[in-house]
Structure 1
C-alpha cells in the first residue's frame, strides 16, 4: 500500500518535533506534522521556558536586598510586569521560530491545524483533508485539569498565567504540586500577596517528606500564606474581585485565582478509540516499552502517555521511537532514576528514592544536614539549605539524593550521573570536597541521622 507519509506526527511539542525532524533528516523518511496551536508545545510556549524566565525575574528583589546587605547602594523599585511580559512574548516568538526552521530544514511538512485519527493509517485535518501514513505518532502532551465547582470559569490555569494584563495584588493558588508551589514562589517574589490552598496535609505530595517540610517552611517565612487541608468550594466574580469560598466556609477576595491541580493527557476528541486505541482511566494512551499502542501503526510519546511528565523524557522517547521504527533497532526508554528539579525558592533537586519509599525497601541509612550557607550566614539570613543522601545499608548504594538550595537543579544533574552509575556511599566519601561550596556536604556526611530495617538489596 502506498502512503502519503512514512510518519505523521500529531503534536508539535518537544518530543513530537524531535521525532519528526530526526526521522526526516537522518533516515530520509517522509514526515508530516500537525500542530493546532503554537510550535514548541507546553514546555516552550506555556511551561518550562516561560516559567523559568519568571523564576529569574522573581529572584531579583531578594537578590537586591541581599546586595544591599553586602554593601551595595541598591534601591529597589517596583516590578514592571508589562515590560517583562512583552520581552517574554518576544522570546517565545523567537523560540517558536527556531522550532519551525528546524522542521523546515529537516524536510518535515508542517500543517498548522488540528489533526485527528480517521483510522489506523489515516489522519483528518481540521480543513477536511485526509492524509495517510505508515506510522502515526501521538505527541499531544497534557492539558491543565480544572475541578467541577461553581464559578470555576473565573479562574485561570498555568496556560494563561504568562499572559495576564496586570500583575495581581492578591493571588490565590489552588494546589500543592510542583507547578502550584513554583507559581506561588514566583508571584510572591514579584511582590504579589500570595495565598496557597492545598487539600492535603503538606505541599509537594509524593516528594521526600523532609524536603517538603523544609520548602514549606521557607515559603511561609518569605510571605506565602500556605493553608493546608483547605480547598475551594466556589468562586464568584464581584466588583471587588474574585470571591473564593473555602472548605471551612471562609470567604476571601482575590484579584486572580490560579488552579494548578494537575494535568491530564490531551486526548479528548483525537479519534483514538475509533482507531482501536483504548484509553486509560485518565485518558492516557497506553503504550509498551517501545512506545507502541495496541494498534501496531500507532505510537505515542510524552505526557499523553502519562508516564513521566518531563520534557527531556519526551525527547528521549521520541529518539527511541525513531531508533526502533526507522532504524530497526528496538530501543526502550529507561524511566528509572531520572533527575528532576522543582523551581521553588529555594530550588529542590532530587534523583532516586524518597526516604519514605526507601524505608519500605530498607534497611537504609539516612544522611541529612540542614545549615546556613556562607552566602546567607554572612548577612545574618535564617534561610537554610538541605542536603540528604539515602543509602542501602546492605549494598551501600546511594538510593536517593535530595538537595534544597539555590541552584539545586544544577547540582542534581551531576549527582544524577553518580546515582545512575550505581555509586555507593563510599564512592561519595572518596571524592574530595570542593571548598567552600554548599555541595561539599554531599561528600562529607559521615554519620547517619536515621536507620531503618527491611531489605533494600533489590532497590
Structure 2
C-alpha cells in the first residue's frame, strides 16, 4: 500500500490505551483527521486497571518497607510516649482510593492532551464493518465512521478459567483488587509470572499473609534465572509461602474465604484469591475475522514489524497483537503504524532493544540478549555479574540483594544485553539500554564518568571487568 495523503486522511483508532493514544498524537501531528473510540476511558487498562494502579500500589508497599530498613540504619520510630513503633499499618481503602484517583488523573491528562491536538474522542464500543468503515455504539447512539486508516488497539483482558470464576469479592482478577476496602488476611496468589509476583509482594509488603502458587519450578520462569533466584529468596525471607510445581485445579468460595485446590489433591485455604494466570486478546466479536484480518490460534492480530495486518489500510498495536505485552511496545507499535500509514519516515519495530522492568522489590530490569539466549545457543557473549552488596552506595542505602549483569559480544566487546536487580532498576537500566541501542562497547561504557558513590557505578565497573586485553 502506498502512503495516503496525511493532510486529507481519516484515521479511526479502536482503543485508547498506549497503542491507541500515542498513535493518535502522531497522526494528529502529521495532519490527519483522527477519531479514537474507547469503551472504558482514555489510557486503557494500562492506566486504569493495570500498570498505573498496580505500580502505585507497589510503591506504597515499597514505602512501608523503608520502615523496616530504617531500623537496620540505626533509625527507630517512637510514639509520643517514647515507645518504639514496630509496624506501619496500611489502610487499604485509603490506599486504593488514592491509587484509583491517581489513575483517573492520568487518564484525564491524556484526554486533555488529545483534545488539545484536535483528536475526536468517542465513548463506546466499535466494530469493524469493512476495512474502511467502523460502527460505534455509544452513549449518544449508533454512529458510522469512514476511514482511510484503521488502527486496532483493543488490548487484552484477564484470562478466566471455568474452574476459577472471579466474583469481585473473594476471588479476584488483577483488575478487581482496587475495589477492596480491607486488607486480605491471607491472600492466595495463583500464577507466578510478572503480574502474580508483583502483586504478591505488594500485598506482602502491605501486611497480608501471602501464598504464591506457581506451576513452575521457580517464580518468574520467563526471566533471568539469577534474578528470579534473588526474588524468590527475598519472598521467602520476608515470610511469603511459595508453592513451586503446584498447578491450580480450581478456586472456590468457602463460608468465610476461599479454597484453592491443586491438581495433586492439596488444598490451600485463604481469605482471598488473586488470579494472575495470563490474559486473552480482545479481538473476538468486533468484525475482524469477517473482514479477512488474520488472527493467530491464540486470537491475537497478526502484524508485521510496521504494524500492518493482513488487510490493506488496517494496522494493529499493543496487547491485541501479542508481540510483547508492554505499554512501551504498544506505544511504539502505534507510533510506527501511523508514521508508516501516513507516509512519514519510519523504522521497523526492533524488539532487541526493548527495556522491560518487573516492579518487585528489588526490581528486575532487562534489555537485549538474555541468559536464556546464551544457554540455548542464540547468542555468544561474555557475561559479568557484579553483586550490588559490594557497592558503597548500596551499603549506605541498606541494600543487600541485587546485582548488575552485562553481556558483551565476543571480540568486539559491544554491550548486547544487561540485567539490573536493584531498587529503581527501572531507572538504572537506561544507560545499559543506550549502550545496547547504539552498540557501545564495554570500554566506552567503562570510560564514561559515574558519580561516586552511586549504584550506576556498578554498571561501569561491570563493563571495566569485561575489558579484553591482548
- TM normalised by structure 1 equals 0.90
> 1:88-107, aligned counterparts within 5 Å?
88-107=99-118
Match of 2:234 among 218, 229, 244: 218
Q: Following TM superposition, where does structure 1 have runs of at least 4 consecutive aligned residues deviating by more than 4 angstroms?
A: 150-154, 373-379
Match of 1:79 among 80, 90, 111: 90
Distance 1:289 1:186, change over 3 A: same
Aligned partner of 1:315 in structure 2 is: 331
Task: Give the SS at the match of 2:310.
Answer: coil
Match of 2:341 among 316, 325, 330: 325
Kindly tell me the number of residue pairs found equivalent between the two proteins.
443
RMSD: 2.2
Q: 2-side partners of 1:419 and 1:328: how far apart?
A: 26
> 1:45-444, aligned counterparts within 5 Å?
45-74=48-77, 75=85, 76-126=87-137, 127-149=141-163, 151=165, 155-359=171-375, 360-361=377-378, 363-372=380-389, 373-374=391-392, 377=395, 383-444=400-461
Q: 1-side partners of 2:165 and 2:304: how far apart?
A: 40
Contact 2:128 2:286 in 1 (8 A): yes
Aligned partner of 2:13 in structure 1 is: 9
Alpha-carbon deviations, 1:67-104, whole Å to 9, x = none? 23434342333211111222222222222222222222
1:59 Cα deviation (Å)?
A: 1.3
Q: Give the stretch that moved more between structures: 431-440 or 35-44.
A: 431-440
Q: 2-side partners of 1:60 and 1:331: how far apart?
A: 40
Contact 2:155 2:282 in 1 (8 A): yes
Task: Give the SS at the match of 1:114.
Answer: strand
1:41 Cα deviation (Å)?
A: 0.6
Q: 2-side partners of 1:447 and 1:95: how far apart?
A: 43
Distance 1:375 1:222, change over 3 A: farther
Contact 1:27 1:327 in 2 (8 A): no
Q: 2-side partners of 1:431 and 1:102: how far apart?
A: 37
Structure 1: gaps (5+ residues): 449-459
1:64 Cα deviation (Å)?
A: 1.3
Q: 1-side partners of 2:344 and 2:456: how far apart?
A: 43
1:287 Cα deviation (Å)?
A: 1.5
Alpha-carbon deviations, 1:333-375, whole Å to 9, x = none? 2222211111001011111122221241454322112242556
Aligned partner of 1:22 in structure 2 is: 26
Q: 1-side partners of 2:53 and 2:165: how far apart?
A: 27
1:264 Cα deviation (Å)?
A: 2.2
Q: Give the stretch that moved more between structures: 41-50 or 390-399.
A: 390-399
Distance 1:376 1:194, change over 3 A: farther
Contact 2:149 2:314 in 1 (8 A): yes
Q: 2-side partners of 1:261 and 1:355: how far apart?
A: 24
Q: 2-side partners of 1:145 and 1:435: how far apart?
A: 47
Q: 2-side partners of 1:375 and 1:429: how far apart?
A: 18
Task: Give the SS at the match of 1:336.
Answer: helix
Q: 1-side partners of 2:396 and 2:112: how far apart?
A: 49
Contact 1:36 1:113 in 2 (8 A): yes
Q: 1-side partners of 2:165 and 2:334: how far apart?
A: 39
1:151 Cα deviation (Å)?
A: 5.0
